[in-house]
Structure 1
Amino acid sequence: MTDGSEYNRVKTTQLSIRILETIKELDGARLSEIVSSLDIAKSTAHKHLHTMEEAGYLIKEGGTYQIGLKFLNLGEYARERWPGFEHIKNAVGELTERTDEECDFVVEDHGRVTTIEESYHKWVKYEEPSDGPPSKEYRARIGSYYYIHATASGLAILAEYPTERVNEIINKWGLPAKTEYTITSQSALFEELEQVAKRGYSVDDQGYAEGMRSIGKAVHGPDGRVLGALSVSGPAYRVDGVVLQEKIPNELIAVVDSLEQTLAEEAPL
């Protein structure tokens, strides 16, 4: 017994999506690389590539195909139409000024979270690793996807979901480790979600990136639906003690309460 989802999928569209994902994974790909990676006919690959290039979804640099800027246009449209986006944007900026740390707002999308707004305080500094190049893991980037269990914002969102939905996400994505501190067992995850529900906000202690701590809180719309989550992140050496236990949580709660009130006041009757 199936839910009919496989029957309703269009194979040509699926192939176009796979081609796009392959080009991104390879950071640009030639026709021969697409054919080899996806094990498809050269003529088939060429038709898909040519169609997407003409529509602006791909650009061709010499013989290499790259993702086109048409996606940027669509992504900005999707971001800005998110319920309460302008108020969310203002809240992220306010939280950054109140905490002097990095802040962002994420939403859940098919079992992962993605950042739709970010703000970085000019004084934020991280200790760079002594045995390698500077890490890019500390900085959230608009449009990037993250495993929901490995971030404070994701944990805050999961804590609002029914058990059935949480299990669906686990079954789809698993609980892969980002660092040695990442939650990787189902029992540990549910224990953590209970703690999040009790305290009203989540804490990620280096589960996403070593050396970084984050505090997150879910944001609800006027109808009670979870719109996403606000979070504050900073170096573990600074986000500690009273800053971790009182200062940042208090500022985060205040900004979320204010944002939810604003969203409720502007909701259509």
Structure 2
Amino acid sequence: MSPNRNPSDSSRVLQTADTTFEIINVIKSRDGAKATEIAEHLDLSRSAVYNHLTTLIENEWIIRTENSYQLSLKFLMLGVYVRNHNRLFSVGKSEVQKLAQETGETAHLATEQQGYQINLLKETGELAVGDQYHTQKLQQTNYHHDTATGKAMLAFLPEERVETILDKQGLPSKTSNTITDRDVFLEELHEIRERGYSYNDEEEIEGLRAVGAPITDQHGNVLGSVSVSGPTSRLKNDRYHEELPEKVMSTANIIELNLNMERRIDRPNRK
């Protein structure tokens, strides 16, 4: 069963469709898989797996190569469509690009969906590091508690929503700096609300720091967040504690303003 599913919805789930999505996820996670591997992983008969694979091939969602089944580029077209129709992405893209260019580091635009952090965009400046690592984050859901973008969003979400997310995900440790105590983490979120921006001080990966800020609508609802990350050798002292927080909050503010102005164009008579 999908980790995002409400148990009360289980009675309405079509088992056949559910299995098809599980097969897609196995092919993705293994960067291609044979039918026997899929059958063993999901504890299904090979004939059942072949039926699902044949349906996916007929509908052009997967392809069969000499050695395995692979996801087709049809998923790419679907993903590009979804991202390009996301208002936060379309409005925020140019500002995140500017942020990366001005700082020389890696800039991220993220949002929250189904309790997870979804990275919509990664832009790199001339000094940016870890391009492959940051690119991989675009291809998966991420927890909030160990990133600047994630903490910036959690800090401004309703408390009940935060508690639900933490109940579901916990606070797993990635480094010795990751906050794993719930009370300490909630206090951290309180401090973020007070100052308006968040830190990731080697909490996600050793040697990497980041500064993030929330992006909200005119009612204070969280739409997403923006961040800048880089090595500890450059993100330190005044640059880490003053310069970058100011730049990140300014970028978030501009994105918020552009979203509000776009909304007024679409609905000129609404407040």
CA distance in 2, matches of 1:253, 1:64: 46
1:214 corresponds to which of 190, 210, 217: 210
Q: Larger % of helix: which? A: 2
Match of 1:202 in 2: 198
Residue segments in structure 2 that go unaligned for 5+ positions in a row:
1-5
Q: Determine whether 1:146 maps to 2:150.
A: no
Seen in structure 2, the aligned counterparts of structure 1 residues 142 and 261 have a Cα distance that, compared at 3 Å, is: same
1:105 Cα shift? 0.2
Match of 1:165 in 2: 161
Match of 1:30 in 2: 34
CA distance in 2, matches of 1:137, 1:84: 23
User: Equivalences for 1:86-235 in 2 at 5 Å?
Assistant: 86-125=90-129, 136-137=132-133, 141-235=137-231
Aligned residues of 2:122 and 2:134 also touching (Cα < 8 A): no
CA distance in 2, matches of 1:64, 1:75: 23
CA distance in 2, matches of 1:3, 1:149: 24
CA distance in 2, matches of 1:164, 1:219: 19
- The two structures, once aligned, show a CA RMSD in angstroms of 1.8
The farther-off stretch of 42-51 and 63-72 is 63-72
Percent identity reads 32
Question: Secondary structure of the equivalent of 1:148?
Answer: coil
1:63 Cα shift? 4.1
Seen in structure 2, the aligned counterparts of structure 1 residues 213 and 85 have a Cα distance that, compared at 3 Å, is: same
CA distance in 1, matches of 2:135, 2:59: 32
Residue type matched to 2:230 in 1?
G
CA distance in 1, matches of 2:14, 2:181: 36
The farther-off stretch of 240-249 and 221-230 is 221-230
> TM-score if structure 1 supplies the norm length?
0.91
Q: Deviations over 1:111-157 (max 9, x none)?
A: 1112111110122347xxxxxxxx95455643332211111000000
The farther-off stretch of 85-94 and 227-236 is 85-94
1:100 Cα shift? 1.9
Question: Secondary structure of the equivalent of 2:120?
Answer: strand
The farther-off stretch of 203-212 and 96-105 is 96-105
Aligned residues of 2:102 and 2:125 also touching (Cα < 8 A): no
Query: Number of residue pairs matched?
Result: 260
Residue type matched to 2:199 in 1?
V
Match of 2:254 in 1: 258
The farther-off stretch of 16-25 and 152-161 is 16-25
Match of 1:77 in 2: 81
Q: Deviations over 1:59-107 (max 9, x none)?
A: 1111411122111111111111112422210110111122221101011
Residue segments in structure 1 that go unaligned for 5+ positions in a row:
127-134
Residue type matched to 1:142 in 2?
L
